[in-house]
Chains A and B, each alone.
Chain A
Amino acid sequence: MNGKSMRFQAKVQVWLRSGIADPEGNTVSEAINALGYPGITDVRMGKIISLNVEADSRESAEKRVSEIATSLLSNPVLENAEIQIDEA
């Protein structure tokens, strides 16, 4: 990688797939309604995992993060993972 490596910051957002019940989101939604705010629907809870990546190219960084996201950071039975990569 002699001098050619680039640094990226990746953010992986993990959400429950649509159709999977989200009891936390529903509870927060009820709390928002109880506070009296109108027009708020579809509250979904998720998590964000931030990673610093050193790689030869954006493509190779993306590939590596996407593997990590589907093998470890999310469970595809329940969750979707969305990846965002920026140069650090």
Chain B
Amino acid sequence: MTAKSVGIVVFPGSNCEYDVASVLEAMGVNTQFIWHGQRNLEGISGLVLPGGFAHGDYLRPGAIARFSPVMSSVVEFAKSGRSVLGICNGFQVLTEAGLLAGALQKNALLKFLCEEVELEVASARSSSTSLAETGQRLRLPINHFEGNYTCDPDTLSELESNDQVVLRYVENPNGSMNSIAGICSKERNVVGMMPHPERACDDLLGSVDGLHIFKSFASNL
């Protein structure tokens, strides 16, 4: 059996791909970068869309990335039930692509936020939180201007009743509805989150709580 490999999708302007690769490789997971112009995802068992500013965030974060050639393959990959994790800008791209509900608006106080926050695992029933415990607290950094999770009231109640909210801020930093920091798809294989778990996987960085996310993700490849 060939070793499982995680594809890390790189758009022009992505800037967290090496951090994600370094965390996964340290856990013994093979990774490869997938340039946004590529369509072939053969041999890939899980996908990460990392943070950054895909296509300069022109128009809206994720608006142009959504039409990158790789995205039709990402949609197919997600529909096949395999694990997809979007972090920060990756979360924004997944909402623009319609793989996750809602959208990320400008932060309520119009402040670029770069700080460590406390989160609660709202549901362990997703491909990237399955090894965490519901109610568990995690400390992870956030680093965004458009992280204010917004959707219409029907979508919000659907997310809540389907247990699709996977992470919540303990103290809401950006105005997100219901303090949402991360959600999953109905099928629970696609997860998007604004915090950066890849920046909290080493004691030197002040927290190793991000490992709960990556270990969960790696266990669902």
Q: Which residues of A contact B95 (CB under 8 A)?
A: 77
Interface 9-residue window, one of B19-27, B36-44, B103-111: B103-111
Residue pair A78, B110 in contact (C-beta under 8 Å): no
**Closest partner residue, chain B, to A79 (CB atom):** B60
Q: Looking at the complex, which one of B63, B107, B148, B152 makes contact with A75 (CB distance below 8 Å)?
A: B63
Interface 9-residue window, one of A1-9, A21-29, A33-41, A54-62: A21-29
Tell me the chain A residues, 58-88 only, with Cβ under 8 Å from chain B.
Answer: 72-73, 75, 77-78
Chain A, interface size category, equals: 10 to 19
Min CB gap A88→B, angstroms: 23
Q: How far is the CA of A75 from the CA of B104 in the complex (A)?
A: 10
Interface flags, B159-197, vs A, CB<8A=1, else 0: 000000000000000010000000000000000000000
B3 an interface residue at 8 Å Cβ cutoff?
no
Q: Looking at the complex, which one of A23, A24, A77 makes contact with B103 (CB distance below 8 Å)?
A: A77
Residue pair B150, A77 in contact (C-beta under 8 Å): yes
B96 an interface residue at 8 Å Cβ cutoff?
yes
Residue pair B59, A21 in contact (C-beta under 8 Å): no
Min CB gap A81→B, angstroms: 12
Given A77-B150, A77-B151, A78-B150, answer yes or no on A72-B105 (Cβ-Cβ < 8 Å).
Answer: no
Query: Could you list some 16 contacts between A and B, CB below 8 A?
Result: A21-B105, A21-B175, A23-B106, A23-B107, A23-B108, A23-B109, A23-B110, A23-B175, A24-B106, A24-B110, A72-B59, A75-B60, A75-B96, A75-B103, A77-B150, A78-B103
Interface on A for B, CB 8 Å cutoff?
20-21, 23-24, 27, 72-73, 75, 77-78
